[in-house]
Amino acid sequence: MADKKTLITTLISQHRILQKDAKLILEISSGDKTKTTVIRTNLDKFTKDLIEHLKLENDVFYVELLKEMKKKGQDTTKTEMFIAEMKGIEKAVLAFLDKYKDVKSIEAGMAEFHSEFEGIGETLNLRIETEEAGVYAYWGLF
């Protein structure tokens, strides 16, 4: 398991990397529409960073948080609902990444790509803000 003392710091650091990745993709996709290879390369990095983050968050943080909450006799219903909402966002982002899984699919959907990724970026930022102000704060209680 990841070090409990540095877990939140690591997750927040990963958030900043994801935000930076997303910002770069938005900048590239709003400019020269011929840069589909560059967009795909940056989507690959974003995907790798996202998968790494989700693995730590889903397989370690949420599991340990729920375990500790239950151990302390706390009601986990709202936390479990929050996690389910986050899973929904995760599925939407992964579906987007699958839709644009190669240069050919980006070229074919370039007109929609930028606006769809803007929505992904906004959703990602909302998720990050919600986690950092919400469930990450619970971690300090355990």
pLDDT of 139 strictly over 90: no
Tell me the residue type at 9: T
What is the reported pLDDT for 2?
Answer: 60
**pLDDT tens-digit series, residues 48-107:** 999 999 999 999 999 999 999 999 999 999 999 999 999 999 999 999 999 999 999 999
pLDDT of 1 strictly over 60: no
Tell me the residue type at 55: K
Q: pTM (2 decimals)? A: 0.91
Closest CA to 113 of 100, 98, 95, 131: 100
pLDDT of 10 strictly over 80: yes
Which sequence spans correspond to the domains of the chain?
A: 7-139
**pLDDT tens-digit series, residues 99-135:** 999 999 999 998 899 999 999 999 999 999 999 998 9
The secondary structure of residue 61, as a DSSP letter, is I
Q: How confident is the model at residue 138 (pLDDT cuts 50, 70, 90)?
A: confident
What is the reported pLDDT for 131?
Answer: 92
**pLDDT tens-digit series, residues 11-52:** 999 999 999 999 999 999 987 777 999 999 999 999 999 999
Task: Please check whether residue 117 is in contact with residue 25, taking contact to mean a CB–CB distance below 8 angstroms.
Answer: yes
